[in-house]
Amino acid sequence: MQRLMTVVTVLLSLLSLEPWAAVTIAQTRPYLDSKVFPRAEQVPMRLDQWYLTVTADQWPGVKKDDSLWKKIRDTFKTSDTKVVVTAKTDIERGDTAIGQAAKVLFVFDPKDGKIESTVEQGSVILPATRLAPTDRLVARIGFSETTSERASALIEIMNKIEKIPAVNAYTVGALSVTTSVIDVLTSVIGKPEDQNWRLSKTFPDAAETYRTEYLMVFAADDRPALETFEPRKPSDGRNSSLPSLVLLKLSWRDSVISRDTVLVAGEQFQAKLQPLVDRIRDARGLEKDRVAAEQVKQCVELRRFVQTQLNLNEKDEINIALAAMKAGGYDPDRSSQHQDGCFEQGDLDAARRDGFRIGSCTSQTCLQAQKFLYRWLKKETLQQVTTDSIVWADQRKARVEEGQGDAGAFAKTCELLRSGYGSYKPEPDGAVSFQGKVKCKGEKDCSDAKIVLSYSEDKPDKVVRIDVMKPEG
């Protein structure tokens, strides 16, 4: 925040500088042109659940004596002025701009041919942003002339802005701050009529935006020389002799949240989420039988806040919920109440497959057993977690009923109706057991049972035998 205030102070000081220098335009001025490079992948079914990021990708052949900079020197004739090159993106919904982002790419001195820039390959112009299906993306590249004094101040701003953590445009509340900075920058860089070179490219909807991977902007009469340019091969030696260009990359991803860092001090969401996480943690002071229910209640409130205030997608809502419940000490292995609006068991299993650790079931054998029990409970195929042929036995009655076959045959014989949370127990010979409610063939009602899973010696991650026994105690 201190850095942001410093930037705003510098921006305001810029407004008190002398007016723009008069601009002398050459009689024949070159025009900007653009070329799009399509994306190979098909548009995802739920594109509104993905995030778009626009970055400044590369400038092959940026050197003071190439054709683009020569054209700039021939176009901007005023003495003691510099040329500011900017990239700006707008997200438009109907007639309204709902999101803006801008970056000064570099400042060029036509007199001595020097280029000053803080932008590196991959620098973010538009932070991760969700688009509705009919939202338009407008990308603009502008070349403007300004005084040397303003350019020096602008370079100072560039250096300071690069040190500020990126403010995501989808974060409610941050958008007004971002827009304010952009508005002041626009007044510094110049009014539309002062922008001698400008190119505007509109992508009419989210799907069309996705179909474009790169947008290349260059001087129009350089098109023949750039026809062979391939943005996906930046190391190609031929690029070093090409005319200069500005290359924007449009990237998409389905998540911007890390479960392990979202609540770390200094992370941009931490301050907003901490009060809600504290309520989950404070619930541990209640009576033991009320703790889990209260934590889940606060988790539901947390998800509602994320939906309405942060506008994240469902995957990131779940990531935040998992991180918050872990921070609050909730144990999903001893309660199933998280499935009442906080997160589903499938979400937990997917997170654990990615390496996220939460709860008391942390050993490999326990996690393998949970995976089997979850698939059994959800009536999903068990072939992936068992050997090709398994043995099972129902030992709850005086006469033991045994069977043998593939996992599909077992699933038709016995049905798991409820998994026993927190009842994991190691058994002899590497077997593990859980408590649960089952109903086997010929039974009208389900009943409590102890389920023992035995694993193959050759394939220790595959169940080879299942025993359904009388519950302990």
For residue range 330-357, list pLDDT tens digits in order: 998 888 889 889 998 889 888 888 888 8
The pLDDT of residue 173 is: 36
Phi, psi of 373 (to 5 degrees): -65, -40
Closest listed residue to residue 468, CA positions, set 390, 361, 406: 390
- Listed in sequence order, the residues at least 6 apart from 334 whose beta carbon sits closer than 8 Å to its beta carbon are 292, 359, 360, 421, 422
C-alpha count within 13 angstroms, C-beta hemisphere, residue 291: 16
The pLDDT of residue 434 is: 87
Could you tell me if 298 and 285 are in contact, meaning their C-beta atoms sit under 8 angstroms apart?
Answer: no
The pLDDT of residue 28 is: 44
The pLDDT of residue 363 is: 79
The pLDDT of residue 171 is: 38
- Topology annotation, domain 364-469: Nuclear Transport Factor 2; Chain: A, (3.10.450)
Could you tell me if 272 and 263 are in contact, meaning their C-beta atoms sit under 8 angstroms apart?
Answer: no
pLDDT at 470 over 80: yes
Least confident of 223-232, 258-267, 453-462: 258-267
| 332 CB burial (10 A radius; 0-12, 13-18, 19+) | buried
Amino acid letter for position 288: K
Amino acid letter for position 85: V
**pLDDT per residue as tens digits for the range 252-303:** 999 988 888 888 766 677 788 889 999 999 998 988 889 999 999 999 999 9
Could you tell me if 103 and 123 are in contact, meaning their C-beta atoms sit under 8 angstroms apart?
Answer: yes
Closest listed residue to residue 373, CA positions, set 326, 329, 422, 324: 422
CA distance to 148, 158, 331, 392, 472, per residue, from 164 (Å): 25, 10, 37, 61, 59
Could you tell me if 429 and 456 are in contact, meaning their C-beta atoms sit under 8 angstroms apart?
Answer: no
Give the largest Cα separation in the chain, rounded.
103
What is the Rg, in whole angstroms, of the alpha carbon atoms belonging to the chain? 30
Residues 226-236 have a mean pLDDT of 73
Instruction: Count the neighbouring beta carbons within 10 Å of the beta carbon of residue 398.
Output: 5
- Listed in sequence order, the residues at least 6 apart from 183 whose beta carbon sits closer than 8 Å to its beta carbon are none
pLDDT at 172 over 50: no
The pLDDT of residue 193 is: 47
The pLDDT of residue 120 is: 74
**pLDDT per residue as tens digits for the range 125-140:** 888 888 999 999 999 8
Q: Given phi > 0 = left and psi -120 to 50 = alpha, else beta, which region is 393?
A: beta
Strands (E), 374-446: 386-394, 401-405, 414-419, 425-426, 432-440
- 461 three-state secondary structure: coil
The pLDDT of residue 457 is: 87
**pLDDT per residue as tens digits for the range 312-326:** 899 999 999 999 999
Tell me what percent of the chain is helix, strand and coil, each rounded to the nearest 5. Answer: 35, 30, 35
The pLDDT of residue 24 is: 42
The pLDDT of residue 59 is: 62
Closest listed residue to residue 351, CA positions, set 386, 313, 301, 317: 317
Q: Given phi > 0 = left and psi -120 to 50 = alpha, else beta, which region is 341?
A: left
Nearest-10 crossing angle of helices 270-282, 288-305:
160
- Distance, CA of 119 to chain centre: 22
Instruction: Output 181 or 338, whichever has higher pLDDT.
Output: 338
- Domain positions in the chain: 2-253, 270-353, 364-469
Amino acid letter for position 125: I
pLDDT band at 160 (very low <50, low <70, confident <90, very high): low
Pairwise CA distance, residues 437 & 377, whole Å? 10
Strands 463-469, 386-394: pairing is parallel
Could you tell me if 8 and 1 are in contact, meaning their C-beta atoms sit under 8 angstroms apart?
Answer: no
Could you tell me if 141 and 199 are in contact, meaning their C-beta atoms sit under 8 angstroms apart?
Answer: yes
Phi, psi of 205 (to 5 degrees): -155, 175
- Distance, CA of 36 to chain centre: 24
**pLDDT per residue as tens digits for the range 204-214:** 999 999 999 99
What percent of the chain is predicted at pLDDT more than 90? 29
pLDDT at 118 over 80: no
Least confident of 149-158, 202-211, 407-416: 149-158
End-to-end CA distance of the chain: 59
Pairwise CA distance, residues 314 & 336, whole Å? 20
Pairwise CA distance, residues 286 & 289, whole Å? 8
